[in-house]
Structure formats: C-alpha cells, structure tokens
Chains A and B, each alone.
Chain A
Amino acid sequence: MSQVSEPGIVTPTPLITPRRAARLRLIRLSALLVVLVLLAVAVVGVVTATGPPTLADLRSQAGLDGKQELLIGVKDDQPGVSQLMEDGSYRGFDIDIAYMIAADLGFKRRQVRFLPIESEDRARRQAYDGSAFVTVDLVIASYSISQQRRDQGVVFSEPYLETEQSVLTLSSYSGPVNGLRDLRGRRVCTLATSTSELRLREYGAEASGKNRISECVQALYNGTVDAVTTDAAILAGFVAPLAPDAKPKHPLHGVKPLRHWDIGEDAAEKWGVNTGPNHAMKELVDWSLYQAATRPGRDAWDAAFEANLAREQPANGPPPANGPQQVAVGQQPECRKVKVRQWPWESMILVPLDPARRAARRAGRARGRGSSGC
C-alpha cells in the first residue's frame, strides 16, 4: 500500500509523514532481504539438485556399457518355468521375465545368453557354459527370496512371482497329503539347498535333495521316492501336458499320471532375481519390474503368466483333476517404486507388441486379470 501514499524522490505534497515513510522503507528492505535469501537458496537448490540417476547412469554403473551379451542363469528342466528345448532355445515364465528385464537393460533378445544353473550355484551366480563355469549377470531361476539367503549375501530384486509350496505324487498314491506332516517317514525328494528341504526335515520326512527337480520327478516315476515337494509353480509344469510343439532336450521317461496336492502352506514363496552385489544392477531390475507393474501398456508380465503358468491351471484344477492347487498368484507381486530420471517424453515410448503377446493380452483381458500395480 505504500506505493500510493509514500512520497517518491521529489514529491511536492507528501501524503504521509517522513517517519512513516522511513518505516515503510525499512519494512521493504527487510522484505527484500528475505526474498533475496529465499530465492538465492532456492536457485542454488535447483541448480545443484542432481535427482535420481538416469537409466544411462545406472546402465553405466552396472557395467553394461560395451557389454556384448547379457548372461542369465536359468533352470533348464522345469516345464512352464524354464526348460531347454531340443533346438537349444529356452521356454517358460522365467525366460519371458528374463527377456523383459533384458530389454529394459538395453539388450535385444539375440543379445541375451541363457546358461543352465544348478540350484546350489544360484547364490554364487556360477553357471556352466559348456567348457567352464562363468559368473552370470543375473540369476532368474525360480529362486525364492528368504532372509536366510539374504544373510548369506544373496542380493535379491523385488519379487516377480508369488507361489506356495506343494507336493507331487503319483496318482496311484494311497494316502491323502494335506500337509507336510503327512509325509512323515516317507521318501520325499526336493531341490537341494531349497527352502522346501528345510521344512521337510522339520516334519520328519526322509528328505533327499537333488540339484535338478526333473531328477526328483524321474525318481517319482521310477518309484524310488514317494513324493516330490517344492514350489507349486514348478510342480504344476510336470502335471500339465506339454505344449504340442514343445520338444524338451531332457525328456522324462516312464511318464505316469501325477497328482498335485495343496498342503495348506500359508507361507508364500516369492521368487526374485539374484542381481549380484552391484547396486545399480539391482536398481535396474527393480525398475524393470516396477515398470511392468505400473506403466500402462506394459503387459509383458501378464503375457508371460498367461502363456506359461495360467495354461497349466486346468490340469492342476479342482477334482476330478489333480487339485485344486493354484499354480501361482496371477498378479504381479507388489514392488518398490524405483525412481529414475527420464525425459518427460520417454514415458511415451511403448514396447511394440509381438503377435504372441497380443494374443495373451487379449486372453488376459477376457479373464479380467491384470497386474496388481505397486
């Protein structure tokens, strides 16, 4: 209000007293100082703000610049999850998730190399490439996240699938299996170093650990074990019929009808990616999973689930089939928001859909299934 009444430099008829004018000048000076300090601090703040890293920063920190191929350790004997075919290709949910993550890391499909990895080698990321053991960049091998494994130094990404433990027997198996305690005294096979093996021992079963789940199922067919237990998403693949065009490199022999038992375990098995100790790599994988869950138009997770695991559900469905045992939760598990600095228009770039994913997406819509979001 001072501007009206306060005299300027050469005001002939002052409207206010000189004392009041001086007070107004003082107030203005104080306001100016406050504004200048505030703006100076704000300018320094915005000019020096670095914000979260960019994707390029993370890729560089993860050592991906100049890298010609991404090595991913996967299982090769788990139908529906990750299985090696006669022609050398891999198929399954883990494989599709691996391709999705690799694309976000900047690798095309042909720049991804899968190496079979044994259960015991997953923590150390050691896979055999045909001539020697190599350290893979990522392990995406139905690897359950557990505190014990974290304590051993395994760095997990956010979870990408939620399933539970279940039991597989021959259809001819007599007794019901309503819980692991029903397996007391039975010969039960499971994966070595798996979370299932620990629980079996707690319930007094005669547990034998093998490095490959297919060996367990083969032992079941051969009659040398009574039951196999591990994650339902893995076992469901053995119960469901193979896709008509699937020709596994390591087929099982003496195949017999199987029965999949829901053992009422409430502990969820959440699968994660072993990203190794590089923090940037973990951030990149988590960002990829977060994008899959939240960005509209990104349906790679749904497509992977529909094409591999949802297909197995009828065979594992309610009686008189072998169930009911849910293969896995049909929604992407909740995951952490990863902040990455991007140009505003980068969010508009959508991954083009291939025909298979488009079909899976349509099927997903028809069933009303969608990812949960984070």
Chain B
Amino acid sequence: MTLLPAFPVLLLVLRLWQLSRQDMPTMLLLVQYVSPLGLLSALLIALVWAFPLVVLGTGVLGSVLRVSAPERFDPDRSLLAYVTARTPGWVLAAASVLAALTWQMRFLPALLMIVVWLIGLRVRYRYPDRADLLLALGLVLPLLAGLVAYVWLAPAIVSALRHGELATAALLGVPPAAAVVLTGPLPRRSAPLLTQLASYLVAAMVPLVTGTVFLQVPLLPAVAVEVGPPPPEPAVEVVPGQAVTVTDRMTIVLDRSSRVRFIPNEQVRAQLLCPGPERVPVSEVTVHGWPVEQTALDWMMPRQRPEPIDGRCSGRLAETG
C-alpha cells in the first residue's frame, strides 16, 4: 500500500521517457518545461475510470466471498476481506456514479450488472431472513433492470451483430442477463479460490492497462508552426509537432520525429492548434445516437464545432502554388 503513490509518478516519468523517444537530453528538457500540474491533470483525466473499476471490482469480489464462504472471510488475514469490510456503502455508490459518467457506453451494461450484483449480495448479507427484500432486490430488481436494458439496447445489439462486432454485441447483451443469475452465493469451496484468483488478476491487469492507456494520452498540445521571414516574404517551412514552451527568445517544438526544434520567435509567422492524436472510434454502433465508445461525459458535454483540418497541420505551406 505504501508503494501505491509511486505508481502515478512512475507513469509520469515513463510517459515523458516515451515522449522523448528514449532520448535523455530531450527528456530532461521536457521535465524542465512540462508543468507537473498539467501532467497530473492528464493522468487524472485519462485514468479516472480506473478508480471505480478497482472499488467496484473489489467490492463485488469481497461480497461474493462474504456471502458464499463467511468462515473464510477474515478481514485480519485477507486484504480483499479487509477492504470489503471497511468500504462504506456511499463509497460504492459514488464509485458507481463516477463509473456511469466515465466508462464508455459499451461498458455500462457491465456496470449495471456489477451494481445489481452488489446490491443483491449486500442485501443477502445484511438481511438474510428478509424474504421480501431478497425477492425485491435479489430477483425483481435484476429482472426489471435487465428488461429495461434489453429494451433500450436491442437496436444497438442488432446493429453490432450486423456490423460483425461480436465483442460489442457481447458487452451489450451478456451483462443484463447475467445480472439476473449472479445475485447469490457460490459453492463454499470454490468461492475463496475464485475470488482470490480474480482479485490477483485485477491487481495485475489494472496497472498494466492504465499504464498502456496513459502512454497514449497527449501531454503537449499538437501545433503547427509556420516558419519564415516576416511577410510579405513567403513562409519557408511548416513544423508540425507538439509545443513544449515559448520563451522570450525561442519557441520550442517537439516535431513529429521527436526532435526538439528551437525556433527564434522572430521567425515564427503563425502558430495554430491541430487535432490531437486522439483515438478515432473503431465501432460504428450507437445506442440511440450515443456512440458506444463515448462516455456519458463525452456525450453530454458540448463539443467544438467540427471544422476542416488546416493543411498546415500536415506540414504543408498555406501559400504554395
């Protein structure tokens, strides 16, 4: 646990190392100019989805263990049991809301499954003798939730199958049904083994996936700098790349081959923002107009009006010909 804060720092250093293409002087220059606040913001925005994944994943696994094999649920000996026993309900609720906002649409059915599963298991643990509650939250709720989910997702599932996107179809179609089946205990003998294995797997995979995701996140703004003598003389060159900083003498740009370019400010004729290397969606499936690869936040927040990309972002002079 004490090493946990070191992980983000390691990620940040790795990201800069990768950005400099493993060139130490370039990395040192980036360290000098890149703002730690900017780095942390990028880290937070890129990995905000991981927090609910860890909280909810741990909560579900611990609850399964607690309901299935209570004699093996020992908070003093098992980290999983310890975390589950000490995680208050409101943290789980907050994590669920955060996940609903920050997980891509295609993972929301899985979130629904986890939440319904968690509710069923907690009710079983807290009110084992309340048949009415068990019926309402252990059976009726998953059934209703599954039904509503299928009514809402049906066109998207059909569309995914039509486009040959089986993985998307499975992500949309399997969890609502699974939610109905899963809200109960597992065999006493296999539950500890399964939950331990799953928790180890999550512990191993989450840093790997978050690291991979973070290494693709842009840290510096993508720009194109038009270089040349002052007008009316024509521009000589366009340098597309990432803006490191602007000092009182130089504009420092990391070009596409990760070379650092120091351009005297008097030679900078124009500078423009270019589209970043964001990941263009792969899936063509939408749920009532909501692309499955967008989070609720992406979908709800206003987006910049689309404009044709300036040719200078491809390194092309504006005044050729």
Could you list which residues of chain A lie within 8 angstroms of chain B, going by C-beta atoms? 1-4, 6-12, 22, 24-26, 28-29, 31-32, 35-36, 38-39, 41-43, 45-47, 49-51, 54, 59, 64-69, 106-108, 110-113, 341-346, 348-349
- In the complex, what distance in Å separates the CA atom of A49 from the CA atom of B135? 40
Could you tell me the distance in whole angstroms from the C-beta of A53 to the nearest C-beta in chain B? 9
Do A35 and B178 touch across chains, with their CB atoms under 8 A apart?
yes
B187 close to A25 (CB less than 8 A) = yes
Identify which of B39-47, B149-157, B275-283 touches chain A: B275-283
Contacts of A43 in B (CB 8 A): 167, 171
Extra 15 A-B pairs, beta carbons < 8 Å, given A106-B309, A343-B281: A3-B134, A8-B185, A24-B184, A26-B187, A32-B186, A35-B175, A36-B198, A38-B170, A42-B167, A42-B170, A43-B167, A65-B240, A107-B316, A108-B321, A349-B308
The answer on a CB contact under 8 Å between A29 and B303 is no
A39 touches B174 (CB 8 A): yes
| B227 interface residue (CB < 8 Å to A) | no
**Given known contacts A9-B67, A29-B187, A345-B303, A49 and B316 CB-to-CB distance under 8 angstroms:** no
Residues of A close to B168: CB separation below 8 A:
42, 46
Among candidates A3, A39, A66, A112, residue contacting B170 with C-beta atoms closer than 8 Å: A39
Distance of A112 Cα from B311 Cα, bound (Å): 13
B166 within 8 A of A: yes
Judge whether A11 and B282 touch: CB under 8 Å.
no
Q: How far is the CA of A20 from the CA of B100 in the complex (A)?
A: 37
Contact check, B280 vs A110: say whether CB atoms are below 8 A apart: no
CB contact between A31 and one of B175, B178, B194 (< 8 Å): that residue: B178
Binding site for A on B (CB under 8 A): 67-68, 70, 106, 110, 120, 124-125, 128-129, 131, 134-135, 138-139, 166-168, 170-171, 174-175, 178, 181-188, 190, 194, 198, 209, 240, 256, 280-283, 286, 291, 303, 306-309, 311, 314-317, 320-321
Known interface pairs A46-B167, A343-B281. Does A28 touch B181 (Cβ–Cβ under 8 Å)?
Answer: yes
Q: B174 to chain A: which residues have CB within 8 Å?
A: 35, 38-39, 42
B184–A64 contact, CB under 8 A?
Answer: no
| Cα of A26 to Cα of B184 in the assembled complex, Å | 11
Given contacts A25-B187, A68-B316, A69-B320, contact A12 B311 (CB under 8 A): no
Q: Which residues of A contact B187 (CB under 8 A)?
A: 22, 25-26, 29
Q: How far is the CA of A8 from the CA of B138 in the complex (A)?
A: 11
CB distance from B72 to the nearest CB of A (A): 12
Bound CA–CA A314/B40 (angstroms): 70
| Cross-chain contact of A341 among B138, B280, B320 (Cβ < 8 A) | B280
Among A4, A26, A64, which residue has its beta carbon within 8 angstroms of that of B134?
A4
Closest 10 CB pairs of A and B: A45-B167, A8-B128, A51-B282, A110-B321, A3-B138, A66-B315, A42-B170, A42-B167, A35-B178, A3-B139
| A344 and B316 contacting across the interface, CB-CB below 8 Å | no
* Cβ contacts under 8 Å, A2 to chain B: 184
- Complex: how many Å from CA A32 to CA B180? 11
Q: Are A4 and B139 in contact (CB-based, < 8 A)?
A: yes
In the complex, which residue of chain A has the Cβ closest to the Cβ of B107?
Answer: A43
Whether B283 contacts A10 by the Cβ 8 Å rule is no
Of A28, A41, A54, most B-chain CB atoms within 10 Å: A28
